[in-house]
A and B are shown apart, each in its own frame.
Chain A
Amino acid sequence: MGEETVHALRGVDLAIGSNELVAVMGPSGSGKSTLMNILGCLDVPTSGTYRLDGREVAALSQAELAQVRGRRIGFVFQTFELLARQTALRNVELPMIYSGASASQRRRRAVEALERVGLGDRMGHRPNQMSGGQRQRVAIARAIVQRPALLLADEPTGNLDTQTGEEILDLFADLHREGQTIVVVTHEPDVAARCRRIVRIRDGLVESDEARTP
């Protein structure tokens, strides 16, 4: 079996400033996912550097990466990834369990985050008692509860109808207005159109990087 080394990304040079709202676009196989994994500290580059919030993370150990993910990055996934048996509140508390917050602190901040996404009245509900849009809001509350340096969303509206998707994008816009740095990975032009900057990836390279006014 001949194995060929494929460089999913090669020579990507990208700086994302604080409080930017960036869309990363690209066809499948473009290296978009790999870029997202590296940005999310789920993966480390074989060479090169990645500074998150002024800190070099490419050389961190597994345990250190986990801590960075827990405290500095908030993930929003296409399929929400909520724990099915737990209430909205406990889902949102999850990242703080691993960062060692006290129970009262966890609760206070989780309530805050859920209220922020407009689910103050759904905190005791389980995912299967909520609509898709509500579930994604819970996931967003979970992503922002640690006040991360970077909110990383992977096709956040992919499993939602247009109307609900718009509401989620409105929520992102609100968060961005409040100072949150957000990177949305998507292949939907409608989603990208809501962002201030669009980075297009193709064959492991940045094809284009355009700033725009939505």
Chain B
Amino acid sequence: MRIALANIGNAFEQIWAHRLRSMLTVLGIVIAVTSTLTVVGVVQGFTRYVSEFLQGLGTNAMWVWPERPAGEAGRRLGRIAMDERDLAAIEQNCPALRRLSPLIRSETVLVQAGRDEFRAPLEGVSADYLAIRNYEVALGRPFSIVDVEERRAVCMLGREVVRKLELGDDPVGRNLLVAGRRFSVVGVLSEKGSFLGNSQDELVLIPYTTALKMYPAQLRRMAATAQAVSEEAVPEARAQIVNLLRRRHRLDAYQPNDFKVMTQDEILDAFNSMSLVATAVLAGIVGVSLLVGGIGVMNVMLVSVTERTREIGLRKAVGARRRDVMLQFLTEAVSLSLLGGSAGIALGYGLCALASLHPQMVDVVIPLWAVALGFGVSTLTGVVFGLVPAVKASLLNPIDALRHE
């Protein structure tokens, strides 16, 4: 214990005495730990952000849309279509589903109120849409069934649209022009925030029947958002939709689906596989820089052992055993690489803080395990690459060492 304390004191003295050399030596370790922390922080931040966003997309939600599959089999399929009857059939014949809303999307459309105008995405939906997507009505009312059935020119606005059009505190009842048509505002959605720099509150909702009147081409290419009865029922609901649509579209067993079904989990999976790639790239960087850093530590420790041969001889003369000398140099190597690791952790935090300054950046989350990993990995590097110099020092013959010039 006493020797250990003396060793640590010694180690820091040596490192401080050779500040520049020590700094250059640990650069590899610094880079390794910094990149670990930064990448893990950003990836974790994104993962949390994405899962929060997906929660916001709805509860147990899934999306269905017509799509020609890739490849030869896809090209052989006839017309790719999904119409209102398909959607009605899904709604009626899939017991694992609770709700369904057709989803008619357009390019962004020009919304005008008096002299103010603003481009926003337009979505044609049914009365159930708000419940599926967890949208809350901040002002006014949601669509009624009558609005949908009678194809009324009514709309609900996202907060950002209200703000940009300067509609004031109570826009309900105001008239505005959406893609050149007159609409009356019946409600305002509560704020959802932005995702990856895209505001989720720049949105105009209208009844899907009204949207189909504006975009009749979509009558044959309708999409839908649906909600399963429970989280456990999501895969079942998916299977029911697939089976039903394949039957209705008269697809043979060898033919691929002429539509796509995607659940929230699948979006999360897709994202997770992306972050897995990022992690793999990170592992490569970290591995290489640890190797470089470790060799740096080994090199500088070998130099140190040679420089201090006489000191080693003296220490042995005054009672140091081989083990004591070995531990002294091992302590020095580990201290060196731990300092590198600490610098890397500090720098990683700094970089994450810097990244967070970017307005479109997510909140970076540095998990404790990444910090622990940084310390652990740098300690291990010190031990592994410090071992050879330390053993070399411990085996020096005191007589020769004391005569060393």
Contacts and interface: CB of A to CB of B under 8 A. Distances in A.
A71 B320 CA distance: 11
B319 A102 contact: no
Nearest to B7: A97
B134 to A, nearest CB: 65
B321 A85 contact: no
A115 interface: no
B318 A95 contact: yes
Main SS of chain B's interface residues? helix
- Residue among B2, B13, B311, B323 facing the most chain A CB atoms (10 A cut-off): B2
A66 B316 contact: yes
- Residue among A97, A100, A101 facing the most chain B CB atoms (10 A cut-off): A97
A102 B315 CA distance: 18
Nearest to A97: B6
A15 interface: no
A37 B403 CA distance: 12
Interface of B: 2-3, 6, 13, 17, 310-311, 313-324, 398-399, 402
Contacts of A6: none
Given A43-B399, A77-B402, A81-B310, A98 B322 contact: no
A14 interface: no
Contacts of B310: 81
A70 B318 CA distance: 5
Contacts of B311: 83
- Residue among A40, A81, A102 facing the most chain B CB atoms (10 A cut-off): A81
A69 interface: yes
A56 B65 CA distance: 93
A94 B318 contact: yes
Given A62-B321, A67-B321, A98-B321, 8 more contacts: A43-B399, A70-B320, A77-B402, A81-B314, A97-B2, A98-B3, A98-B315, A98-B324
A81 B404 CA distance: 12
Nearest to A67: B319
Contacts of A142: 318
A40 B323 CA distance: 20
A50 interface: no
B319 A63 contact: no
Interface string A61-95: 01100110111000101000101011000000011
